[in-house]
Structure 1
Amino acid sequence: MAKKKAKQLLIVDGYNIIGAWPDLRALKDQDRMDDARDLLISKLADYQSFSGIKVMIVFDAYTVPGIGRQMNDYQVEIYYTAQKETADEKIEKLVSQFYEKNRQIYVATSDYTSQRVIFGQGALRKSARELLLDIESAGKEIKQQVDKTREDRFSKRISLDEEIAKIFEKWRRE
């Protein structure tokens, strides 16, 4: 019996991506980091639902004492690092923890040092720009599917011969 292929995994360096994506960076620059974080989580949750790729997001809480927790929002796993633990260190641990022979792990970061370690553990890098393009593409596909569903729903009307349509219209007006 062939072993089932494990689900693909995307681990995202949250603050690195917030600093790289223009809409999120703009929120951060306006001192709206909570909004930037929430928007990133929401976009990645939609991406996970559409793509089927399991998403984990790591936020660096290096200088915040006693954080080090895990949450599940929108079915996306969110990790806040422990005190004196960097996001890169947490990501390396997650790659090591979830590595399986037939699972592809991607790490979304633009941090060069982290990338080298990640490659050594068998994960592939996805730049912030690549991830943004993937998410935008998924968004377009979702919109197309919604539009097509709407179109299909309204096109299920019975097509009538022009003469019969005129008769029905006459009856309707009487």
Structure 2
Amino acid sequence: MADWRDVLLVDGYNMIGGWPDLAELSHTSMNEARDRLLDMLADYQAYSGRRVIAVFDAYRVPGLGRAFVQGKVQVYFTKEKEIADECIERLVVELSHRRRQIYVATSDSVEQHVIFAQGALRLSARELRLEIEENQKEVKKVIKPPGARSSRHALEDKLPPEVRNKLEDWRRQS
């Protein structure tokens, strides 16, 4: 089955460097910073419906690169002598042949121009972080905290006071 969802390509180390909490964490544990980023991207993917692909440089690491899935997010480590920007550009070209919108999250201005010329839309590290934070707020509104009492009058609680009063007046008249 073909995947027709919009796609978000994320320059992983660019996001880690651009988000203060992850940048700080990366000084003590790059693995933890990567995992935290991937957790946030997995939540974002679930909420937004976009397919998320995170790309990390392995430029100085010998080998063929690797790809795997973590938390339903596709993760690519580039092959030797390939930087994340090159991999992202290649993926934009590969994915643009299908009907979907492609977004690229990077704060690298040169990369933004290149991917924009290929038809992709860009998100800066800051813009993606704000989108993720907004999504987290929306999810918290929908999910009730444990122990919260559910209202027996869900519709009633959503009605404006003047409508509730009018309905109550009608109920009492009958």
The answer to whether the superposition gives a TM-score over 0.5 is yes
* Preserved CA contact (<8 Å) 1:5 1:103: no
Equivalent residue runs for 1:5-44 within 5 Å: 6-29=4-27, 31-44=28-41
Check 1:142–1:82 CA distance in 2 against 1; reply closer, same or farther (3 A cut).
same
Residues matched between the structures, number: 152
One-letter amino acid matched to 2:24: A
State the Cα RMSD in Å. Answer: 2.1
Q: Which runs of 5+ in 2 are unaligned?
A: 154-174
Separation (CA, whole Å) in 1 of partners of 2:109 and 2:81: 20
Would you say 1:155 and 2:151 are equivalent positions?
yes
Kindly state the Cα deviation for residue 114 of structure 1 after the two structures are TM-superposed. 1.0
**CA-to-partner distance for each residue in 1:52-106, whole Å, 9 max, x for gaps?**
0100000000000015110001110000000000000000011011113531100
Q: Which runs of 5+ in 1 are unaligned?
A: 158-174
Separation (CA, whole Å) in 2 of partners of 1:93 and 1:149: 45
Name segments (4+ residues, structure 1) moved above 4 Å.
148-151
Instruction: Tell me the secondary structure at the aligned position of residue 68 of structure 2.
Output: strand
Check 1:149–1:126 CA distance in 2 against 1; reply closer, same or farther (3 A cut).
same
What residue number does 2:126 align with?
A: 129
Equivalent residue runs for 1:35-54 within 5 Å: 35-54=32-51
Separation (CA, whole Å) in 2 of partners of 1:155 and 1:117: 52
Separation (CA, whole Å) in 1 of partners of 2:35 and 2:123: 21
Check 1:149–1:138 CA distance in 2 against 1; reply closer, same or farther (3 A cut).
farther
One-letter amino acid matched to 1:23: D
1:68 corresponds to which of 56, 62, 65? 65
Would you say 1:83 and 2:75 are equivalent positions?
no
Separation (CA, whole Å) in 1 of partners of 2:56 and 2:145: 37
Check 1:98–1:64 CA distance in 2 against 1; reply closer, same or farther (3 A cut).
same
Would you say 1:112 and 2:136 are equivalent positions?
no
One-letter amino acid matched to 2:151: S
Check 1:99–1:150 CA distance in 2 against 1; reply closer, same or farther (3 A cut).
farther
What residue number does 1:93 align with?
A: 90
